[in-house]
Amino acid sequence: EYLQKLKDAYVIVDPNERRKLIHDQLKKAAKTLGGTLVEDNELLDEVTNMVEYPNVLVCDLGGFTDLPRQVLQTALAKHQRAFVVEKKGKIIPHFLVVTNSPKIKPDLARPWFERMAISRLEDADFFIKEDLDKGLKPLVEEEARVEWIKGIGSLADKTRFLTELGTFLSKDVNGFDKEAYNRAAQLAKADLLSNLVREKEFTSLQGTAGAIYAERLGESKEVCTAIGSQYSDSPTTLEGSVLGIADRLLNICATFLVGKPPKGSRDPFALRRQATAVMKILTDLEIHTQIPKAIKKVLSLFGKKEKQEGQIADFLRDRQVLFFKDKDFAYDWVDAVAAVAADDPYDAFLRLKAFGELDKGDEFRLVAVGQKRVANITRSTQFSLPDASLFGQVEEKKLWEETERIRPEVESAVGSRNYKKALELLLSIRPAIDNFFDEVFVMVEDEEVKNNRLHLLNSVKQEFLKVADFSKIVVEGGRKIDTTF
């Protein structure tokens, strides 16, 4: 009864009900106009929380439908909280706003919304024309007079860094268009000095504005796409991916060098988000990059050798671990892989993918039991090959034979990043490991025999460490590991 009385007073309490009502009204209005609603879930969530009793109003757009689609949508969504309608892929000259009450008189409200929207669009149209008349070259030249980060360099320096770091990151990337990348890097930051972005009304269009201008001024599709996707965490081309990775690595390293890393919940420069984007792009586009080497390259570009190198590497390594855990890989698998392969995010992803493909039953957990025992007993043992002539029990000989059998195949599989095959080979010697621990006592009084058995176990451990540290895999149910040998 209470909720109904509120609804009678034009208050809908349930946000899900409000959201559905708004969405239904928007789609109905768009259909009435002969088009379809351009979906914008983020804006829909925002207006849902701004109104109590939604009512959709149709407004006229005037003659601004020739503006670039991204500019038009940004002007209406960001500044007017308005939705657009399309027909056959083109924006029609109307927009939809969500008002707070059905009692609002459309003939009084509509002109106000239209004046505000058209004012924004007039500004955008003016800025675009001014920028295109000037061209991109003067903006690139102006970068030398604009500071990027104090103590690191100008915006022109960053442009140069993007070019050189991109060359470093892409040297092993097949199908990479170096010429297109270099041109995109040269133009990437020009739009930051454009009227459209610089005047603060359309700052969210950085990158997008540059791509629009580059296209209008005759740059290739590859160059425009790379410029437009540099801030995205889902770029569609190799050139855009490398540009986005290079930009973020430069930002992260520079911010650490000037003493402003993330602390606690504070991350004013969104470095955590940028690091996560680096991991996502590398894994999505299947790009191999040695992160520590990339950090070293960035610092060399800055002309600095700083103690923060290790701090930056640790930060990116931590973000990589969290990234994979957020992708629903088992947390202990992530830790096991990170212990031996934390430098190349895509390589780590391939290892984790292999774990997922072979995760059947308790096989990994059973192997982990043996590897925990091996890790415990060989913790202080220096690596050395065992002497086969000292093996006195069948189980010792069998374990050594099995280890030697798989060694070259594991090496080959790891070398070609066929981690599924490497894991299958390692799992195949589990019976020999289990039999060894069932029948062989390691810590005998004979020092020579004891050390030889330790070297045997260490040899087994080294094979497993080529893929992951299995001792970090959690045994389900907290099963106690026998530490008597």
Q: Which residue has the tokens 């009227």?
A: 195
CB 345 within 8 A of CB 293: no
Q: What does pLDDT average to over the chain?
A: 92
Mean pLDDT lowest for which of 8-17, 77-86, 190-199, 377-386?
377-386
- DSSP symbol at 482: P
Q: Residue 412 has which token pair?
A: 């080959």
Supply the pLDDT for residue 444.
87
The answer, yes or no, to whether residue 379 has pLDDT greater than 70, is: yes
Share of the chain above pLDDT 90, in %: 78
CB 322 within 8 A of CB 279: no
Supply the pLDDT for residue 473.
86
- Strand partners of residue 153: 149
- Distance separating alpha carbons of residues 284 and 312, to the nearest angstrom: 23
CB 368 within 8 A of CB 430: no
Topology given in CATH for the domain delimited by 351-478: Isoleucyl-tRNA Synthetase; Domain 1 (1.10.730)
- Distance separating alpha carbons of residues 237 and 292, to the nearest angstrom: 24
The answer, yes or no, to whether residue 403 has pLDDT greater than 80, is: yes
- Distance separating alpha carbons of residues 214 and 224, to the nearest angstrom: 6
The answer, yes or no, to whether residue 126 has pLDDT greater than 80, is: yes
Task: Find all residues with CB under 8 Å of 75, minimum gap 6, and list them.
Answer: 67, 117, 120, 121, 124, 202
Supply the pLDDT for residue 365.
75
Share of the chain above pLDDT 70, in %: 98
- Distance separating alpha carbons of residues 34 and 233, to the nearest angstrom: 34
- Distance separating alpha carbons of residues 102 and 99, to the nearest angstrom: 8
Q: Kindly report, residue by residue over 278-316, the tens digit of the pLDDT.
A: 999 999 999 999 999 999 999 999 987 777 899 999 999
pTM of the model: 0.88
- Strand partners of residue 60: 94
Give the largest CA-CA distance in the chain. 99
Please report which confidence band the pLDDT of residue 114 belongs to, taking 50, 70 and 90 as the band edges.
very high
Please report which confidence band the pLDDT of residue 360 belongs to, taking 50, 70 and 90 as the band edges.
low
- Torsions phi, psi for 440 (to 5 deg): -115, 130
Mean of pLDDT values over 53-73: 91
The answer, yes or no, to whether residue 478 has pLDDT greater than 50, is: no
The answer, yes or no, to whether residue 65 has pLDDT greater than 90, is: no
Higher pLDDT, 430 or 225: 225
Supply the pLDDT for residue 375.
80
Higher pLDDT, 199 or 425: 425
Mean pLDDT lowest for which of 241-250, 278-287, 362-371, 455-464?
362-371
Residue 33's nearest CA partner among 63, 65, 59, 64 is 59
Supply the pLDDT for residue 483.
37
Q: Kindly report, residue by residue over 173-188, the tens digit of the pLDDT.
A: 999 999 999 999 999 9
Higher pLDDT, 60 or 8: 60
The DSSP string of 316-375 is HHHHHHHHHHHTT--HHHHHHHHTT--S-HHHHHHHHHHHHHT--TTHHHHHHHHHHHHH
Please report which confidence band the pLDDT of residue 485 belongs to, taking 50, 70 and 90 as the band edges.
very low
Topology given in CATH for the domain delimited by 142-327: Hypothetical protein af1432 (1.10.3210)
Task: Find all residues with CB under 8 Å of 438, minimum gap 6, and list them.
Answer: 395
- Distance separating alpha carbons of residues 252 and 258, to the nearest angstrom: 10
Please report which confidence band the pLDDT of residue 84 belongs to, taking 50, 70 and 90 as the band edges.
very high
What separation in angstroms does the CA of 446 have from each of 449, 450, 451, 458? 5, 6, 9, 18
- Distance separating alpha carbons of residues 176 and 289, to the nearest angstrom: 14
Please report which confidence band the pLDDT of residue 363 belongs to, taking 50, 70 and 90 as the band edges.
confident
Coil/strand/helix, residue 481: coil
Q: Residue 235 has which token pair?
A: 């770029």
Q: Where in the chain is the domain with CATH 1.10.730.10?
A: 351-478
- Torsions phi, psi for 435 (to 5 deg): -65, -40
For 369, what's the count of Cα atoms within 13 Å in the CB-facing half-sphere? 19
Please report which confidence band the pLDDT of residue 361 belongs to, taking 50, 70 and 90 as the band edges.
low
For 429, what's the count of Cα atoms within 13 Å in the CB-facing half-sphere? 30
CB 237 within 8 A of CB 222: yes
What separation in angstroms does the CA of 30 have from each of 35, 59, 83, 98, 157? 5, 11, 10, 13, 48
Q: Kindly report, residue by residue over 37-53, the tens digit of the pLDDT.
A: 999 999 999 999 999 99
Task: Find all residues with CB under 8 Å of 174, minimum gap 6, and list them.
Answer: none
Q: What is the CA radius of gyration of the chain?
A: 30
Mean pLDDT lowest for which of 36-40, 322-326, 389-393, 406-410?
389-393
Supply the pLDDT for residue 5.
87
Query: To which H or E segment does residue 424 belong?
Result: helix 419-428
Supply the pLDDT for residue 467.
95
- DSSP symbol at 275: H
Neighbours of 478 (CB within 10 A): 6
Mean of pLDDT values over 67-86: 93
- Strand partners of residue 90: 87
Q: Where in the chain is the domain with CATH 1.10.3210?
A: 142-327
Query: To which H or E segment does residue 90 belong?
Result: strand 90-99
- Distance separating alpha carbons of residues 376 and 461, to the nearest angstrom: 11
- Torsions phi, psi for 190 (to 5 deg): -60, -35
Task: Please tell me the total number of residues recorded for the chain in this structure.
Answer: 485
